[in-house]
Amino acid sequence: MSRKRLAMLGLIVAVALSAAGVATARGHTTSVQAASATFGATTVSNMSQVTCSVTGGDTFQATKATYTGSSLSSDPRLAGALTIRAWSLVDTTNGVGHVFGRFRIKGPGTQAHGTLNAAVANGNASGIARGFVRHKWGKIVASLGSTFNPNTGFSLGSLGGSTAGAGFIRSGRWCAPPNWPQG
């Protein structure tokens, strides 16, 4: 095949692919919709705990565990069996700390997954959940609120609902338990 014919064929293929891309893009609309769910994850497994003391006398309980339960939502992408793999570090003196991890919701024909990051105070976790939903694909960013105890899990939880506030200021070194995620 001559170079001119090959160049012409390449040009025709490029135009055809561009037209197909424009037609496909027109078929998908961008939308934003409110999302919310309630959840509980009180079955605890694979728990690993250590306590450590730091200079100044505070003692921290570090916990790594898997919490399972269910999520209820009018949006089927957020309804189903819930698994949270979380790490927490809580000051045993004042109950203030941090919980973070990954979540997965598996429902019939759909699922959601992502990360959670929350401050803990007075037995309440308050923070954010971010991730992805499948079936009708999308991203989720939602407030996260729940009662939380490292030994018993998450209860009375909500995604995208009002939450009890919690916050902390970290200063100095915290203990770093073995197998703690880096970064």
pLDDT (mean) for 36-49: 93
- pLDDT tens-digit map of 103-158: 999 998 788 999 999 999 989 999 999 999 887 778 988 889 999 999 999 998 88
What is the spatial distance between Cα 78 and Cα 32, in angstroms, rounded to a whole number?
Answer: 15
Residue type, 46: N
In a domain, 67, yes or no: yes
Residue 83 scores a pLDDT above 50: yes
Confidence band, pLDDT 50/70/90 cuts, at residue 161? confident
What pLDDT score does 47 carry? 94
In a domain, 56, yes or no: yes
In a domain, 176, yes or no: no
Number of domains in the chain: 1
Residue 183 scores a pLDDT above 50: no
Confidence band, pLDDT 50/70/90 cuts, at residue 51? confident
Instruction: Say if residues 114 and 132 touch (Cβ distance below 8 Å).
Output: yes
In a domain, 85, yes or no: yes
Lowest mean pLDDT across 24-28, 39-43, 81-85? 24-28
What is the spatial distance between Cα 144 and Cα 10, in angstroms, rounded to a whole number?
Answer: 51
Instruction: Say if residues 97 and 148 touch (Cβ distance below 8 Å).
Output: no
As a whole number, the mean pLDDT across the chain is: 81
Instruction: Say if residues 124 and 166 touch (Cβ distance below 8 Å).
Output: yes
What is the spatial distance between Cα 84 and Cα 71, in angstroms, rounded to a whole number?
Answer: 11
**Residue among 109, 135, 125, 144 nearest 35 (CA):** 144
pLDDT (mean) for 6-13: 59
What is the spatial distance between Cα 42 and Cα 52, in angstroms, rounded to a whole number?
Answer: 25
pLDDT (mean) for 46-67: 87
In a domain, 4, yes or no: no
In a domain, 6, yes or no: no
Beta strands in the chain (DSSP E): 37-53, 59-72, 80-91, 97-107, 110-121, 124-133, 138-149, 153-159
In a domain, 26, yes or no: no
What is the spatial distance between Cα 175 and Cα 52, in angstroms, rounded to a whole number?
Answer: 6
Strands 138-149 and 80-91: unpaired
Could you list the residue range(s) of the whole structural domain that residue 68 is in? Answer: 37-159
In a domain, 7, yes or no: no
β partners of residue 148: 154
What pLDDT score does 16 carry? 55
